[in-house]
Structure 1
């Protein structure tokens, strides 16, 4: 069997939701139910603003949209309730929910010896990777349990690069949220925006999904 070529001085850091798998629909359903229970609606357009944002900040934004004030203790109860419903839904996920191009790109990166890390705000990233059978691709997993600052703070990506022993300048981030793009740029990393360019200002390359980029293009992006 051919040994993988080594490119250990390169790293690819992936956001999870909307890049590797589509869990946005489950977040939306759980938040919408919470809002409806409090007497107001929560739209898909508002949900777009929550991409890459951690749970408590998301809750604050939703309460603000609904004109509802809660104590810190009440917020903890609400956030726990939302997460319980969300976890119940993601526990039913399967490998069929992995987004197009994901398996092929992760396989190619692994065979090329390029380090692969996860950089996600989700505290449930481990469960999702397990359910969708992606865990074995990752050299490092940085999620909401390991970081204190939410994107656009670069902490999650800086930590991911450090855990695989690669400098930020030699790292490429894959993101579907503006907060994530801003975080990667703040960390001095290259960014592949997964989605519409108008929603991901500042990314170096845009793709609709991971089937649209190759290992060679990733290497060229870092060199450029």
Structure 2
């Protein structure tokens, strides 16, 4: 049975699918890309979540030179940054971000800074002071680099951090970093996170004077 409470000293937050619902934009852009490259859009959409674009392209077109994936990724990022139609906060995200404002936390996202800024802004969410974006890492999730960098920047050991994630790649990255994972949304439930919520309205944050943070999962 998944845990109904997790205790941490720092929180590492994915963005897409975790704080921001950007599925409409992601699906529009990736459907176009899949069709341009002779791929089945439905099959492509099964692997796009959680990774940087170039890494997704490498999974879908394993024989293609990485230079072409990097070039396509730049185009994809520009398209996604310009398209914020339908970008909304995940349920409970505004109140959750308010609740953790004074607690150690960082954004760890596969988006670059421009895309992260556009989507957090479109969703009306506060951008954390500390963020690990695509420019900050050499490897995409499921590699743990981003979460390890986030923990180090906050000054906490991996075992003191809880990762918030929605995707298979993100959950794998959190686990590889030696952190516990709170899964958010329907995609996360299939990958056995340490605790799981349908959205952030199911979460209550309790902060103790000694710096301990308890994340209580509320039953519906």
Q: Distance in 1 between matches of 2:47 and 2:68?
A: 23
Q: Distance in 1 between matches of 2:182 and 2:123?
A: 22
Q: Distance in 1 between matches of 2:111 and 2:163?
A: 16
State the 1:216 CA deviation: 2.9
Q: Distance in 2 between matches of 1:132 and 1:221?
A: 23
- How does the TM-score come out when normalised to structure 2? 0.80
Going by fraction, where is strand more abundant, 1 or 2? 2
Q: Which residue of 2 aligns with 1:144?
A: 134
Q: Distance in 1 between matches of 2:172 and 2:10?
A: 18
Q: Which residue of 2 aligns with 1:199?
A: 190
Q: Which residue of 1 aligns with 2:69?
A: 75
Cα deviation digits, residues 11-70 of structure 1 (max 9, x gap): 111100001111132122111112222344311x54132211111111123335xxxx54
State the 1:80 CA deviation: 3.0
Flag the 1:20–1:143 CA change in 2: closer, same or farther, 3 A.
same
State the 1:75 CA deviation: 3.5
Q: Is the 8 A contact 1:54 1:121 kept in 2?
A: yes
Alignment root-mean-square deviation, CA: 2.5
Q: Distance in 2 between matches of 1:189 and 1:72?
A: 30
Flag the 1:36–1:190 CA change in 2: closer, same or farther, 3 A.
same
Q: Which residue of 2 aligns with 1:17?
A: 16
Flag the 1:78–1:153 CA change in 2: closer, same or farther, 3 A.
closer
Q: Which runs of 5+ in 2 are unaligned?
A: 1-7
Going by fraction, where is helix more abundant, 1 or 2? 1
State the 1:212 CA deviation: 0.6
Determine if the alignment matches structure 1 residue 127 to structure 2 residue 118: yes
Q: How does 1:1-224 map to 2 (within 5 A)?
A: 10-43=9-42, 46-63=44-61, 70-90=64-84, 97-110=88-101, 113-123=102-112, 124-136=115-127, 138-196=128-186, 198-201=189-192, 203-216=193-206, 219-220=213-214
- How does the TM-score come out when normalised to structure 1? 0.79
Flag the 1:139–1:26 CA change in 2: closer, same or farther, 3 A.
same
